[in-house]
Amino acid sequence: MSERRFELPEELQELRALVREIAERKIEPRAAEIDESDEWPEDVYRILVDHDLMGVGYAEEDGGSGGGSLAFGVFIEELSRVSAGVSLAPIVSKLGVIPLSIAGPEAHRRECVRGICRGELLMSYALTEAGAGSDVAALATRYGRDGDAFVLNGTKRFITGAGISQAYVVFATKDPSLRAKGISAFLVRKDDPGVSFGKAEKKMGIKGSPTREVILSETRIPADRLIGEEGGGFGIAMKTLDYSRPVIAAQAVGIAQGALDFASRYAMERRQFGERVADFEGIRFMLADMAMKLEAARVLTYRALAACDAGDPRATFHSSVAKCFASDAAMAITTDAVQILGGYGYVKEYPVERYMRDAKITQIYEGTNQIQRIVIARELLKAFGG
Ligand SMILES: Cc1cc2nc3c(=O)[nH]c(=O)nc-3n(C[C@H](O)[C@H](O)[C@H](O)COP(=O)(O)OP(=O)(O)OC[C@H]3O[C@@H](n4cnc5c(N)ncnc54)[C@H](O)[C@@H]3O)c2cc1C
């Protein structure tokens, strides 16, 4: 058995079984084709909506099916086990809702969550710019107040879901020289004036999930679309990542599990020198190392998700630890899965090369793993006067 798991409450085990059944039956058969065409799979998104899966992790009073971060993480893990690209529709919608959950306004939060759960709304999170990647405080998208409205101008880069999402959380500054203190967050709608999208990026992996620029040109929005306080945007962006990084960890765990399952099955079937390749010690030890890394990644991921649910003050630390470890583990595990398949791992006939390409992005987005190590060390050293 390739999977041994941290014990989850019964309802989460049931959720996992349900998502796995739907994912294997309805999404896995489409995964290679989505990877090949790189087109947004509206039909697969509808499968998630029709099975009420877009409501996983949202409160029942908001139209969700309940559960919190841990439930959402299990859902994302199982989707990513068959298609990481597909998992990004719920991932980025959640990423878009978190700032509203942290800072309001409540009416917009409720409306957005209801829309997501019903399959009427997808959200995106627009922080990155050409000159502001890891250094978020360098962002240059400007906003100004004009009576009872805000007017935004600038270009956000690498925005997941751009073009298909109906709502965007956009971070902008009133004066770039103020750095972090000048940044505010806004809810922008696709149909607001002056909103357009750049060309779709041609990516290494997570195909089927569009990544484009979001261009704002004299985009005028009502003042009640300000999220939280003016000047509070940087803090909201960072707190949002505390909640969302464990979800990327869950995505990485799912990708790694898909690769390990495939490689284990293959090693039991493929014969060379008159034996199953799984009987060679060199291969067995590789599988053992992969399983160890995956198990550690999963436990750290669930711990970070549980920390988010509990409002643990150490959530920043746990989130970065989980995201960094799980994504590094996924990269190593998927690379080893390709190795176990030999030449067959390198060709598109089998899914392991896709898992390897998909794993790479988990080390990059929502803060590169260099940035995660900076966060982890900073949190660690706080206890020592750092
Ligand atoms: C497919 C995809 C989807 C994305 N989706 C979104 C999205 O939906 N919303 C959004 O806002 N952004 C999104 N991003 C942006 C992503 O979060 C950034 O690409 C990432 O944070 C890194 O920024 P950068 O690419 O500008 O790299 P840079 O910041 O230019 O980094 C270049 C290199 O320098 C390293 N580095 C930078 N600073 C330091 C430091 N202080 N110490 C050590 N090393 C450092 C980095 O780790 C990296 O290796 C997406 C990106 C991609 C590729």
Q: What is the pLDDT of residues 269-302, one digit of tens each?
A: 999 999 999 999 999 999 999 999 999 999 999 9
Whether the CB-CB separation of 283 and 277 falls below 8 Å is answered with yes
For residue 179, what is the DSSP state? G
Q: How far, in Å, is the centroid of ligand 1 from the Cα of 158?
A: 9
Instruction: Tell me how far apart the alpha carbons of residues 48 and 50 are, in angstroms, rounded to a whole number.
Output: 6
* Structural domains of the chain sorted by starting position, each given as residue range(s) with its CATH number in brackets: 10-121 (1.10.540.10), 124-231 (2.40.110.10), 234-382 (1.20.140.10)
What distance lies between CA 310 and its chain's CA centroid?
Answer: 20
Provide the pLDDT confidence category of residue 5 given band limits of 50, 70 and 90.
Answer: low
Q: Does the C-beta of 127 come closer than 6 Å to ligand 1?
A: yes
Residue 218 is among the residues annotated as catalytic for this protein: no
Whether the CB-CB separation of 286 and 336 falls below 8 Å is answered with yes
pLDDT of residue 1: 45
Q: How far, in Å, is the centroid of ligand 1 from the Cα of 73?
A: 23
**250: Cβ–Cβ under 8 A, 6 or more apart, which residues?**
72, 73, 74, 76, 77, 80, 301, 305, 326
Catalytic residue among 36, 78, 366, 379: 366
For residue 52, what is the DSSP state? T
Report the sign of the C-alpha dihedral through residues 210, 204, 127, 248, in that order: positive
Percent of the chain with pLDDT over 90: 97
Question: What would the mean pLDDT of 103-123 be, rounded to a whole number?
Answer: 98
Atom number in ligand 1 closest to CA 127: 11
57: left (phi over 0), alpha (psi -120 to 50) or beta: left
Q: Indicate whether this model's pTM tops 0.85.
A: yes
- Specify the residue with its C-alpha closest to ligand 1, atom 24: 133
Q: Does the C-beta of 126 come closer than 6 Å to ligand 1?
A: yes
What distance lies between CA 133 and its chain's CA centroid?
Answer: 17
Is the pLDDT assigned to residue 6 strictly greater than 70?
A: no
Q: Does the C-beta of 370 come closer than 6 Å to ligand 1?
A: yes
Tokens of 358: 């998909």
Q: How far, in Å, is the centroid of ligand 1 from the Cα of 361?
A: 10
**41: Cβ–Cβ under 8 A, 6 or more apart, which residues?**
30, 34, 85, 86, 208
Across-strand partners of 153?
142
What are the Cα distances from residue 160, in Å, to 122, 155, 242? 11, 14, 18
**70: Cβ–Cβ under 8 A, 6 or more apart, which residues?**
8, 12, 302, 305, 306, 309
Is the pLDDT assigned to residue 2 strictly greater than 50?
A: no
Q: Does the C-beta of 203 come closer than 6 Å to ligand 1?
A: yes
Q: Does the C-beta of 168 come closer than 6 Å to ligand 1?
A: no
